[in-house]
Each structure stands twice: as C-alpha cells, then as structure tokens.
Amino acid sequence: MSDTVKYVLSEADMPKVWYNIMADLPRPMPPVLHPGTGKPVGPADLAPLFPMEIIKQEVATEREIAIPEPVRDIYRQWRPSPLYRARRLERALDTPARIYYKYEGVSPAGSHKPNTAVPQAFYNKQEGVKRITTETGAGQWGSSLAFAGALFGIQVDVYMVKVSYNQKPYRRALMETYGARCVASPSEETQSGRAVLAQNPNSTGSLGIAISEAVEMAAQRDDTKYALGSVLNHVLMHQSIIGLETMKQLEQSGDDPDIIVGCTGGGSNFAGIAFPFLGQQLRGGRTRRIVAVEPAACPSLTRGKYAYDFGDTGHLTPLVKMHTLGSTFVPPGFHAGGLRYHGMAPQVSFLKELGLLEAVAYKQTEVFAAGVMFARAEGILPAPEANHAVKGAIEEALKAKAEGKAKVILFNLCGHGHFDMQAYIDYFGGKLKDLDYDEAELAMALAGLPSVAAE
C-alpha cells in the first residue's frame, strides 16, 4: 500500500440530507427556558433573532432534513472533503492502530464552520433578512459567516473579542475582504458593551460579551437577525455532513472506527463527526468509544457543572441546560481561541450525562507538541483547536500500542492553522505557558449560576 491513502467521494455521493440526533435520543432533552418567565421558550420568543426555518430546525425531531439545493451547490466548492489514512503518523508513533482523519481545512475559510454559515445565510436570505449580526473569538466563525454573507448578498456585522481584534489582524482582514463590518467588542455601539466599558474601560472582551452585543443589535431591528456558529442544535445538525461523508469514505477502506475523537469548543465539529456514528449505536448498532478533547484551561465538560445557564455574559439569551463554567467565567488567554467558551452544546452535554461519550482535557504545550508531530508526518499544519483532536488521537494510538491492539481511530481535523502562526512562533520560542484557570473565579462563576425552578 502506498503511504498516501486518500478516500474521495464524487459530488454525486455528497449527502443530500443532514442527520438530526434528536430522532434517536433515548429520552427527551431538558427544555430551553425563557430567562424572564422560567417557562420553556416557544418559536415566537426566538423569532426576533432567527429566521423561522432555523427555529424549526432547532426543535425538529425528524431524523433527516433535506439540504437545500442552493446550499449543496456552494458545498460542492470544497465538499465532499477528503478522508486520509495517517500512515506516516502511524509509522512515527510505531503503533499498530490505524488512524484516519477527516480534513475540514479545505473550505474557503479554512475550517468546518462554513458547513453551517452557508445554510444559515441561505435561510436568512430566503426570509428577506438584510443584515446578520454575530460574534467571533479568534475569527474563524466571523470569517465563515462573512464568506457566506458575501455569496448571498447579506450584510454581516461581526463583534470580535477585543483581544483577538488586536492580536489577529489577518482574520479581521479576511472578514473585511468578504465585505463584513468588524467591530472590537466590548464596543460603544450597544448597551451591553457600554455597561462593560463603564465598569472596566480596559476590558479585552470575551465571547460572552460579544454574544450579548450581537444579540442586542439583532433584537432591535426588523431587518436584522443573529447567527451562532456553534452550541445550538441546528448548528450541530448542519455539521453532521462531516460524519455522513466519513461513513461512506470508510466503506471504501473496509475499516470501522473503534474510537472517534474530536475537539470541543461549543461542540459542533465534534458532534459533526461523531453523531452520525452515535445515531447508529442508539438505533441498535455497535458501540464505539467517542472522545471529546478540550483545553485544560477551559474545561467545561470535565470540570463544569451540568446546569441551566445563560449563553452570554449580559444574560440576554435563553437558559439552556449544559456543562458550564458559569457565564461570567473568563478563561486565561490561551491560543486555541475557538475553544474559549464557558458552555457546551446542550446535545453534547446531555449525551455526556447519559454516559454515551467521554471527555478529556489537555494542556496547551502538550497539545502543540502533538500538532507539530502531526505536521511533520502528514504535512498539514492544524489549527490550535484541531491540535486537541490530534493529541487525543495520538494518545489513543499510543494506548493501542501499549496493549498491542490494532484499534481503528478516527478524528476530525477541523481546520488548518495558517492564520495562527503566531501561536506556533510562541510555541517554538518557548513562550507558550500552560495557564491554569483561577479556581476561585470558577467557584464564583459557578456560585452565580441562575436558580431554575424546573431543576
């Protein structure tokens, strides 16, 4: 067998539907609650923020939802994405394990995020929306939505966490190239932003603050809606195309994964690769180990509490039950910006509570070491977030070696790191430190969780 083993699908084999895990859950999920009344939210509560088709998908229970043809047409620009067998990495590790990775860095924005940005922009366009507001941390989501907005002729306003706005000018330039407006958050444009600046004029911002700003702007204007790049059910469903394609590609290989690994920020790329496989299991198929890898400095699944919490710092969003570090928790400034969210997708959290998936946390220096090893073996330079998945897969491959077992490991390489070279420069310069979050701050953030009667 040659060393380069790549499984490609024809365009005709690209999935025509997304997979919705709601159809296969063993019991219903806890409801989403209105922050004012404490009662379950209805479509009318969400209508100021999202187009109706997205609201329908958020609560849908059908197993399959058709991908609209205009969305498939754009997907075809980079999908089906390749699946590789990591033979050179296997050799470097001297492991009997067979390692596969699905590569989502081939999209125009360089990550999995356009998989949901494109349909979200499409449904907004269909319902006459002129402007979409959103937040972005490191800039991957902002640039993905900016790309999708450009294709559909929708204005995109991105509230970008101030520290990233200043540190990542290239992501900002990419958003502006696509025609989006990029605002450093906290900003003077919103009440939420002004409130934070009044308390702390030097605030460097957080995802929670930026979400408050974007939500506030969308709620105020009839022609404007809001879009979220992770966490919500419809986002995870859009990402299922990753796992659905992988299943078809693995049929060509004749292998079936024993272990599936993904990194988790809000949970969407992890769910994208894992849920189609987990759905098979929930319908009576074989059991596989499914491993979520998160940063030790923002460990919502391994250290957070499973409780109702807000999605944002300004407490404008509904309450969802999830693994959370508390909506006021601000993680230390480590380099995987896409993994710095205080919460976790409710679906991922629920399945973790049911014991259907595992979670593990690693520190950033060991995570970068794994990414560098991967780049030297396979040639692709992963995003700092993706390095967590690489680390998780390598650990499993080393375990398989110690046990002398030829395990099949699949992981999602969710994006490339070409915009994150400063992180690699810092790593090679010995400047990357393993930052610990502040235990006292975590305890305080958790003590501040909203009390909810329904619990």
Ligand X SMILES: *Cc1c(COP(=O)(O)O)cnc(C)c1O
Q: In this structure, are residues 414 and 365 in contact, taking their beta carbons and an 8 Å threshold?
A: no
Nearer to ligand X, 141 or 350 (CB): 141
Residues 6+ apart with CB under 8 A from 369: none
The whole-angstrom distance between residue 256's C-alpha and the CA centroid of its chain comes to: 24
Structural Rg of the chain based on CA atoms:
20
Find the shortest distance in angstroms from Cβ 252 to ligand X.
Answer: 26
Nearer to ligand X, 70 or 332 (CB): 332
Find the shortest distance in angstroms from Cβ 271 to ligand X.
Answer: 8
Residues 6+ apart with CB under 8 A from 76: 11, 14
Nearer to ligand X, 260 or 414 (CB): 414
The closest of 12, 240, 233 to 104, measured between CA atoms, is: 240
Nearer to ligand X, 117 or 154 (CB): 117
Nearer to ligand X, 217 or 274 (CB): 274
Distance CA 186, CA 162 (A): 7
Nearer to ligand X, 90 or 105 (CB): 105
Find the shortest distance in angstroms from Cβ 235 to ligand X.
Answer: 7
Can you spell out the DSSP letters for 320-340?
A: EEEEES-TT------S-GGG-
Structure tokens at 30: 């806890």
Q: In this structure, are residues 205 and 188 in contact, taking their beta carbons and an 8 Å threshold?
A: no
Number of residues written out for the chain:
455
**Cross-strand partners of 120:** none
Interface contacts to ligand X, rule CB under 6 A: 111, 113, 140-141, 230, 263-270, 338-339, 383, 385-386, 414-415
Distance CA 85, CA 250 (A): 10
Find the shortest distance in angstroms from Cβ 454 to ligand X.
Answer: 26
Nearer to ligand X, 263 or 449 (CB): 263
Find the shortest distance in angstroms from Cβ 75 to ligand X.
Answer: 17
User: What are the Cα distances from residue 378, in Å, to 84, 91, 347, 397, 416?
Assistant: 10, 11, 32, 16, 12
Find the shortest distance in angstroms from Cβ 341 to ligand X.
Answer: 8
Find the shortest distance in angstroms from Cβ 385 to ligand X.
Answer: 3
